[in-house]
Amino acid sequence: MKRIILSGGGTGGHIYPAVAVAEALKRRFGEQVELLFVGAEGRMEMEKIPALGYRIVGLPIAGLQRRMDWHNLAVPFKVLRSLRQARRTIRTFGADVVVGFGGYASAPVLWAAQRMGVPTVIQEQNSYAGVTNKILARGARRICTAYEGMERFFPADRIVLTGNPLRGRFSKEGADRAEALRHYGLTAGLPTVLVVGGSLGTRSLNEMMKAWIVQTGGTAPVQVIWQTGKYYEREMQAFLAAHPAAHVWQGAFIERMDYAYAAADLVISRSGAGTVSELCLVAKPVVFVPSPNVAEDHQTKNARALERRGAAVVIPDAECRTRAMPRALELLADREALAEMSRRLEALARPDAAERIVDEIVRAMA
C-alpha cells in the first residue's frame, strides 16, 4: 500500500492540479494507494476536496495581509501550530511521499516532511516560481514544471518538464463544433470569440465587452460567448437589457468548456496556469489579458512565455478595454496567423501531464 499526501489550496489553480494527480494515482494503483489531502482551515479546499470524495486535514495556517492588519500578529503562532500538526499528520498517516501544489498549507507540510526524511515532490504551475517553492525546492526529490527555463529558480538536476495536470479531457479535436454552436444558440456563418474571466468574473473583460457593444450598436461581424462571472451577472444582464446585442451569449458560468472551446475561433482570457494549459491542449488562438492582482505578477509571466513563442498575443489589463477586441478582430481576419498560432500552441501541449507527475512521485519514493 502506497500512502501519499497531496497538499495544495487557496485557489482552484492549486486545488484542481492536485485532484487531477489524485485521479491519475487512483487509475494507476487502484486500491493499492491511500490518499490524504492537507489544506488550510477556512479555505475553499476544505469544501471542494471532500465533495469529490477525498479525505482532507486542515491546518490553521494563514498568510500575511499586504496591508497593516492586526491579524498578522497571529501568523507566527499559526505557522508553529501548523508545523506541529503537519508533523503529527505525516506520522499518523505513515506517508511515503508528500506532494505540494502551492497554497498556504503546502509550505508547512512539505517543510515538516523534509525535516522528517519523507520524500517530497513539488509541482510548480507557473513560469515564475513563488518564494515558498524556491525555498522548499532545495529539499525536494523532484520538481515538476510546466515551463522550460525553470533552472533560474530550481536545482536543474531535479527539474522534470511535465506540464500542468488538468481534470477532464481537453483536446484539439474536442466536442463537435456544430453541436457546440447550437448549444449556445449561435450560427456557423460567423466567427466566434470566447471571452472568459473565471468563475467570479473579471471587471476589465466585462468593461471591454460593454464598450465594444456600445461602440458597435449591438451588431458586429462576429459572435461572442461572454462569461461574465457570478459577481457581475446581474449588472451585465441589466446592461444587455438596455443595450441588446445580436449574436452574444452571456452567462455567469460555462458548464461545458469543451463546447465553448469547440465553438470558438479565438479566445480572450486571463492567463492563469490552468487556463494556459487548457488553451495549449485545445490549440485555440488567444489574446491574453493577464490579471495584475496576483502574486509575483505570474499571469503576465505565463502569457509572455507563450507570446515569445508566437503562441499568444498579450494585452495589458489597463489597455484591454480599448485594445483587446480590436486586436482579436484583426487576428480573426488573418486566417494564416490564426493557423500558425494554433500550431505553436499545440506544440506546447502536454496532455499526459498528470501521468508524468505520477511517474515522478513513484521515482521519488524509490
Q: What is the pLDDT of residues 88-123, one digit of tens each?
A: 999 999 999 999 998 888 999 999 999 999 999 999
Does pLDDT of 63 surpass 70? no
Confirm whether residue 344 is marked as ligand binding: no
In a 3-state reduction of DSSP, which class is residue 201? coil
Confirm whether residue 342 is marked as ligand binding: no
Of 352, 336, 341, the C-alpha closest to 161 is 352
Confirm whether residue 85 is marked as ligand binding: no
Could you give the angle at which helices 75-93 and 106-115 cross, rounded to 10 degrees? Answer: 60
Does pLDDT of 70 surpass 50? no
Say how many residues make up the chain: 366
Q: What is the pLDDT of residues 136-159, one digit of tens each?
A: 999 999 999 999 999 999 999 999
Which pLDDT score, from 0 to 100, does residue 254 have? 92
Does pLDDT of 167 surpass 90? no
Strands 33-40 and 313-314, sheet pairing: unpaired
Q: How far apart (Å, rounded) are the C-alpha atoms in residues 191 and 174?
A: 18
Residues 6+ apart with CB under 8 A from 173: none
DSSP codes of every residue in 9-32: -SSHHHHHHHHHHHHHHHHHHGGG
Which pLDDT score, from 0 to 100, does residue 74 have? 55
More confident position, 220 or 276? 276
Confirm whether residue 217 is marked as ligand binding: no
Could you give the angle at which helices 203-216 and 233-242 cross, rounded to 10 degrees? Answer: 0
Of 35, 138, 24, the C-alpha closest to 95 is 35
Confirm whether residue 89 is marked as ligand binding: no
Q: How far apart (Å, rounded) are the C-alpha atoms in residues 198 and 250?
A: 14
Phi, psi (rounded to 5 degrees) for 293 = -105, 40
Which pLDDT score, from 0 to 100, does residue 69 have? 54
Confirm whether residue 126 is marked as ligand binding: yes
Q: Exposure of 255 by Cβ count < 10 A (0-12 exposed, 13-18 middle, 19+ buried)?
A: exposed
Residues 6+ apart with CB under 8 A from 64: 72, 75
Q: CA dist 107 to 74, 120, 332, Å?
A: 17, 11, 44
Confirm whether residue 219 is marked as ligand binding: no
Cell digits of residue 280: 495549449
Domains, the chain: 2-165+351-365 (3.40.50.2000), 177-348 (3.40.50.2000)
Confirm whether residue 254 is marked as ligand binding: yes
Q: CA dist 211 to 101, 239, 326, Å?
A: 38, 11, 11
Cell digits of residue 34: 491511500
Phi, psi (rounded to 5 degrees) for 100 = -110, 135
Of 362, 295, 248, the C-alpha closest to 10 is 295
pLDDT, mean over the chain:
92
Of 121, 108, 117, the C-alpha closest to 154 is 121
Predicted confidence band of residue 171 (pLDDT cuts 50, 70, 90): confident
Instruction: Please give the DSSP secondary-structure letter assigned to residue 185.
Output: T
Q: What is the pLDDT of residues 313-361, one digit of tens each?
A: 999 999 999 999 999 999 999 999 999 999 999 999 999 999 999 999 9
Q: What is the pLDDT of residues 241-295, one digit of tens each?
A: 999 998 999 999 998 999 999 999 999 999 999 999 999 999 999 999 999 988 7
Does pLDDT of 66 surpass 60? no
Residues 6+ apart with CB under 8 A from 220: 212, 246, 247
